[in-house]
A and B are shown apart, each in its own frame.
Chain A
Amino acid sequence: MNARPARRPGRYLRPLRRAADCLGALIVAAVVMMLSTGGAGAVPALGPVLSPGTGVWRLSPDAGTAGSATIMLPALDKPGTVAFETGGGTHITAGTDQDLFRMIGFVDARYRLTQMDLERRQALGELSAVLGKSTLKSDTFELDLGLNRAAQRDWEHMAATDPARVTLTSYAQGVNAAMKQLETGHQLPTLFKLLGYTPKPWTPVDSLAIQRLMTQTLSFSDAAVTWSYAAKAIPHNVFDAWFPAVSANPQVPYDQGPYQNAPLAPLPVRADPARSGQGPQAAGAALPPNKTDLPPNKTDPNGHASATALGPLEERLGALPVNALNHFGNSNAWVISGEHTQSGEPILAGDPHLQLTLPSPWYQMEGSSPGYHFTGVVLPGIPAPLMGKTGGFAWAVTNSQHPVTLFYLDKTDPAKPGQYFWRGGWHRMGTLKYQIRVKGRGTVEHTVRFTAQGPVLSLQGVTASVWWAGTLPSTNLDSALRILRAQSFAQFRDSLRGWATPSLNFLYAGKNGDIGAVTPGVAPQVPGHEIALPLPGDGSADVAGTIPFDALPTVHDPASGYIISANNREVTGAYPYEYSTSYNFADPGYRAQEIADHLAQPGKQTFAQTAALQTDVQDSLAQDLNPYLLKALAGQPLTGQEQKVAQLMRGWNGSIDINSPQAFFFQKLNVRLSYVTFDPWWKSYNIPKDPLGQVAMEPFSGTFPTQIMYGTVLSWIQHDPGNPFFSLPDGTKRNATTVLRLAFRETVQYMTKKYGPDISKWRYGAHFDRVFPSLLSVKAFDAGPYPAAGDPRTVSSGVPVTSVQEATGGNALVNSSYTTNAAALNRLTTGASWRFIIDWGTGQVGAVLPGGDSENPISPWYRNGIPIWLKGGLLPVREGATADRAAAIRWRFTS
């Protein structure tokens, strides 16, 4: 008899255990699959990111592993080559002109695809689709401004045979060929893999959008809003005395007249609906209005906004990425005629100042084809160089900082929602609706509203719309292509007739000896109104036209033998049109003065002297002010510490050197001098502090207005020492000398307390540093900090345009602006984004980018230019056979 085995006690539980087992396995597998394919929150999809074959481990091919290769570029007409020097200098030789632009597109995409994609997304208002809600403010602002609409309109208006259209198409083919190769080889840059998206194919509209974004960086200014606080609070005559139309310090306008007083030219708007009162003047078509729930306007019965009503607008502008607004101008360019050079032929120098990002805003290359030959810098995303040289001439540009951003305060009525008052009647605002994709959050609807002036930027506090020249039709690429074929200055200048925006100073040095300059671009005129301040939007201050091209600043072979442009006002006070003022937004002109002083010295100029001048840190304001300070202190009873400092300042030459304690003391003294002079009046006029703190009197840190006040105070000290504003509002008498002494004493006290009594430790470079921030504001990808030299008034200058996000480790494309953080104000992040010099007599050409060709942080070409840049050095610019001999890597292109 067989005994039945005893039943196990858990037998009936077994099915349950198995079910739980299965369920657990399924849940874990599902979680793992979710993490693998979709990520979670900030965690990217781990499968494609970490997998060895397709993930981050596969290097993008520019990360120092690039070698000679044969590359298929299907759209190519003929074979071509790209040769790279050891340090990354790029030389493109193409069989046809269009092949040249295809290969430029290919090279740009291979080395700068992240930069190109993020910038086009910023311009088109599509950042949030990949970066999430942190970039929503940027996207809504760009959609308001309408770079996307302007780019699309430009493209649609290009004829099929338009050289610009053909070139843009070729360029896009090159970019897309590179993108396809990177994608097929799973070699897209790391950021795409981490963010989990593949860049969409490049289109000509993308290139035009990037062009518009640079236009915005150079010309969209909030100065009118910022200055409105002071302008509303101070009597007109006082405002003019403090902030004169032309800065009080010596000016070096390159066009000294005589000037034409020609009738205004119409704006380059193909269909200007504002003229007939039908709709928006800015780019893009407005849909019929359908919103009636607008918040009430906070203007007074006359439609005038109070100063504080502009706060929300300023806050909105202040929250934008650094490159969304023009906050500073520090570019330099000058040409010297052969009569003043040792070589007997012209010398040209250019150093455009921008935010010194890594990767650089520029890509330097030589391009050769049957119809073109140039060496210069292109903006990745745009096919043609903006600066450089051809076989016959060289050119450089600086920003012409006259107002092209006009803010209008619109009259609205709570009883008439969605309407604004214009030209005697109530009009409905035009509207456009956008669905903005936001990563992880679906879509957000955004409505763009238009008045006759342009898009409405603010509905809170006050309804403010903006007329901005940056979205007007402009033939930039066509001009750039025509420039490359110019044979003379006359042809060069003529190439720029259609260039509407941004307004730039183009300086020219011909191999044949002629030199010249021209400032093309729309300069809006509103007769009877101050265009540098917010304007009434009721139709009384509409733009009447622009200065005609032939009346814009220009010069050819001037008698002085040189032309200088350093963002300073290009014309004298006799210029018969509304132009830049000291406060909107021309540079005060110290750098131009410093360059002029150097060029006026006896002797012939050389390449080496020009290179030294590009890195000059002489502060002409300091040079001029220091003798007055020492004179004021002479014979005065001073404390021991004051005597030490006074002794230190004796014999100082005004150089803002890294090791100079005088330079650091002077920076604080200069700020204090303005503060001591103006703060009592500032308070007496009750000038409100703006939300971003830009219009403020700070005891020891410079703000926006003080930059101009430095020149005003120096001018009074020099020419009007008894100026009534040195005295106090309560009638207490003071003069230049007493104010100088007071500022000195207070600065010594402050410095001693804050930095210690040992004045040898007050070294400038110990307190000011320079950082080359990564475009993504990933601190680990920054270069620096390095001890800094120079200030905003020196030729080699730096401005602390530091984003809030840089301090907090955020993304440069996210929500950033000026900061008044004291530590950040001592960190310089702008400077010469390219230094370039050519001597046509010796044939010597040198250039340096503060960075490298590659955007990949582990590439040897990511930051290799920085050590040379910091030392003020230049790399030789090689061309043709010389470049070929220096080539270390060659890509041979076949179709």
Chain B
Amino acid sequence: MTTLKTPPARTILLRGATLLKARPGRSRVMLVAALIALIVEFAGNSTGLWLMTLAAGVVAGAMRRKGAISGLVLGTVLAWGLGILMEGGGRTLQIAGVVSALALGTRGLGVAIVILAFVYALLLALAGAWLGAAGRRLLAGRRPAESPADYAGEAPRANEAGEAPHADEEEKESV
């Protein structure tokens, strides 16, 4: 008979910290970013602070991690989708229909209103991300030389030609 051993809390914390300290892979970064974006944006929306979506984008953009932007997009869609569903429930499309009628003169474009909400949320997040990334690049450009510190714990990887990746090249993956 096997017994399921629950690791002590301290062990769990240590493992978590190790995971964060370790060089995370792209998908892990994406998941962490998505989780953070989800929590921050959902909390922000719930309290009327919809600007938190933009703020989350700024943070994600400022990070130099592959997967951060994908995580931001995923988190944003989840945060807004969950929020809309929690508020509107089964009547979400009906509500969207009312908005569509008032704004566009027809109730039939409710789905378009829902899509608009998501597009708007992503616009907020990605505008923030570009802002964050641009700020990061600006700051990086003022430094005398590129240093490993710029990569915030992630060692620069060699490109196919064996050269260290240039900051600009890596940014292209982020934003």
Contacts and interface: CB of A to CB of B under 8 A. Distances in A.
Interface in B88-103: 88, 91-92, 94-103
A194 B99 contact: yes
B124 A32 contact: yes
A44 B138 CA distance: 34
Interface string A7-31: 0000000110110011011101101
Contacts of A18: 134, 137-138, 141
B138 A22 contact: yes
B116 interface: yes
Contacts of B82: 52
Interface in B47-88: 47-48, 50-51, 54, 80, 82-84, 86-88
A52 B48 contact: no
Given A14-B141, A29-B127, A780 B105 contact: yes
A856 B127 CA distance: 35
Interface of B: 44-48, 50-51, 54, 80, 82-84, 86-88, 91-92, 94-103, 105-107, 116-117, 120-121, 123-124, 127-128, 130-131, 133-135, 137-138, 141, 168
Contact of A63 (B91, B100, B105, B124): B91
Interface stretch (A54-62, A533-541, A694-702): A54-62
The majority secondary structure among interface residues of chain A is helix
B121 to A, nearest CB: 8
A776 B103 CA distance: 12
Contact of B45 (A26, A31, A51, A776): A51
A50 interface: yes
B101 A857 contact: yes
Nearest to B50: A51
Contacts of B98: 56, 190, 856-858
Contacts of A53: 44-48, 50, 83, 87
28 contacts: A14-B168, A15-B141, A18-B141, A22-B138, A24-B130, A24-B134, A25-B130, A25-B135, A29-B127, A44-B103, A51-B48, A52-B45, A53-B44, A53-B48, A53-B83, A54-B45, A54-B48, A54-B50, A56-B96, A56-B98, A57-B87, A57-B95, A59-B95, A194-B99, A776-B102, A780-B101, A781-B101, A858-B98
A52 B131 contact: no
A855 to B, nearest CB: 11
Given A15-B141, A186-B48, A780-B107, A28 B127 contact: yes
B127 A56 contact: no
Contacts of B138: 18, 21-22
| Shortest beta-carbon contacts, A-B, top 4 | A52-B83, A780-B101, A51-B50, A25-B134
A48 interface: yes
A60 to B, nearest CB: 10
A47 B99 contact: no
A362 B72 CA distance: 50
Interface in A366-405: none
Nearest to A48: B50
Nearest to A23: B134
B134 A191 contact: no
Contact of B84 (A28, A57, A191): A57
Contact of B92 (A57, A190, A778): A57
A779 interface: yes
Given A14-B141, A29-B130, A53-B46, A59 B101 contact: no
A671 interface: no
B135 A36 contact: no
Nearest to A194: B102
A32 B134 contact: no
A66 B103 CA distance: 26
B131 A26 contact: yes
A194 B96 CA distance: 12
Contact of B133 (A14, A25, A35, A190): A25
A882 to B, nearest CB: 32
A848 B29 CA distance: 62
A46 interface: yes
A46 B133 CA distance: 24
A277 interface: no
Given A52-B45, A52-B80, 8 more contacts: A47-B51, A55-B50, A56-B96, A56-B98, A57-B88, A190-B98, A856-B98, A858-B94
Given A47-B51, A194-B102, A858-B95, A21 B120 contact: no
B90 to A, nearest CB: 10
Interface string A540-576: 0000000000000000000000000000000000000
Interface string A654-691: 00000000000000000000000000000000000000
